[in-house]
Amino acid sequence: MPAADSSMQRDLSKTVATAPDWPTILAAHARIAPHIHRTPVLTSSSLNDMTGAHLFFKCDNFQKTGSFKIRGASNAIFSMSEQEIARGVVTPSSGNHGAAVACAARWRSVPAYIVMPRNAPKVKFQAVEAYGGKITYCEPTISARSEAAARVQAETGAVLVHPYDDDRIIAGQATAAKELLEDFADLNAVFAPVSGGGLLSGTCLGAQGIRTDVRVYGCEPERADDAYRSLTTGILQAQESSDTIADGLRASLSPRTFAILRERVSGILLASEEEIIAATRLVWERMKIIIEPSCAVAVAPLLRKGTVQALGLPPRNDGALPKLGVIFSGGNLDLSSLPFK
């Protein structure tokens, strides 16, 4: 959120010195475009009626590996020199980032070491294995994961590809919103889920790089609301609990992503567990596409009566309903244990 305090602004300008600039994002897009899909943008008259807006869904659930994560992972992996990447890549990830790193590493013909908690869902292991990733199992704690990743790194000489605290990742994730704004230049705002902030900070950079006045909102589970607390207090907050069905949104912002979001994001909207599940099901039923609960978080708040009106978007010159972009981040989930019955 734009800060009122000018001293904070000064601090920020220091912190965001590393935020990828527009030429960096253009270069990222050129680098990854031969490997990824330019995903379609779908609309739904039912969801428009329900929200009082015209919604444009950027379907990265159709992306290679089933999520936007391949954008950042492939940008990072194709950015490295032969020498730098010769011994492979390593990442701690129980989710879509792990599969994306494994996939991009295979494209680059280098090994990928994915550190995963023993209790991750079976489908997540299968996805990583399907792309040829080598799995290291660890206990399901953050410290155990970091230690295991450091150990693998030391043993193999593989280079770390962090899920979000990395400008190359952020620049890659920025390409989804960039494509969306290229296709629909007059969107009033764009909504994306927020976890560690890689996608959301990339969405700010990608969308506002095309049109500076497009607003960007993050959407977050109530049960993993560190971004909301960090941005409303202006101080980076830790995740206190992460007991949410949105299993891709359990990470916390890093100083890097926090700094970008503080400058560029218009607000964080929260969604309850019930709203996340209902939104998942609604999109399946009405749009006939598969999105995972973490992805549904980006549309769930908009379905709550009055949300769109409460944003106070300036009226459009053409008198039309607000045009809102939504980044559909992924469609990977275990069809054997659906969040609804």
Give the residues lining the site for a copy of itself (CB under 8 A): 40, 42, 61-62, 66, 281, 284-285, 287-291, 331, 335-336, 338, 340-341
Is 32 or 189 the residue whose CB approaches a copy of itself more closely?
32
Cβ-count burial 249-281 (b if 16+ within 10 Å, e if not)? bbbbbbebbbbbbbbbbbbbbbbebebbbbbbb
Is 160 or 278 the residue whose CB approaches a copy of itself more closely?
278
Q: Which of 282, 217, 221 is nearest to 47 (CA)?
A: 282
Please, what is the minimum distance in Å from the beta carbon of residue 188 to a copy of itself? 24
SS (HEC) of 61-82: HHCHHHECHHHHHHHHHHHCCH
Neighbours of 292 (CB within 10 A): 25
Is 17 or 335 the residue whose CB approaches a copy of itself more closely?
335
Neighbours of 91 (CB within 10 A): 28
Please, what is the minimum distance in Å from the beta carbon of residue 287 to a copy of itself? 8
Residue 322 CB contacts under 8 Å (≥ 6 apart), including other chains: 53, 54, 188, 189, 308, 311, 313, 316
Is 289 or 313 the residue whose CB approaches a copy of itself more closely?
289
Please, what is the minimum distance in Å from the beta carbon of residue 18 to a copy of itself? 34
Is 124 or 215 the residue whose CB approaches a copy of itself more closely?
124
Please, what is the minimum distance in Å from the beta carbon of residue 271 to a copy of itself? 20
Please, what is the minimum distance in Å from the beta carbon of residue 203 to a copy of itself? 20
Please, what is the minimum distance in Å from the beta carbon of residue 276 to a copy of itself? 16
Is 44 or 244 the residue whose CB approaches a copy of itself more closely?
44
CA distance 101 to 151: 18
Amino acid at site 116:
M
In degrees and rounded to multiples of 5, residue 111 shows phi and psi of -70, 150
Sheet holding 89-92, edge to edge: 134-138, 112-117, 89-92, 159-160
Please, what is the minimum distance in Å from the beta carbon of residue 299 to a copy of itself? 16
Is 61 or 239 the residue whose CB approaches a copy of itself more closely?
61
Residue 177 CB contacts under 8 Å (≥ 6 apart), including other chains: 58, 190, 192, 202, 203, 204, 205, 206, 207, 216, 325, 327
Is 243 or 285 the residue whose CB approaches a copy of itself more closely?
285
Please, what is the minimum distance in Å from the beta carbon of residue 48 to a copy of itself? 14
Sheet holding 323-328, edge to edge: 41-42, 54-59, 323-328, 189-193, 215-221, 267-271
CA distance 339 to 315: 37
Strand partners, 327: 58
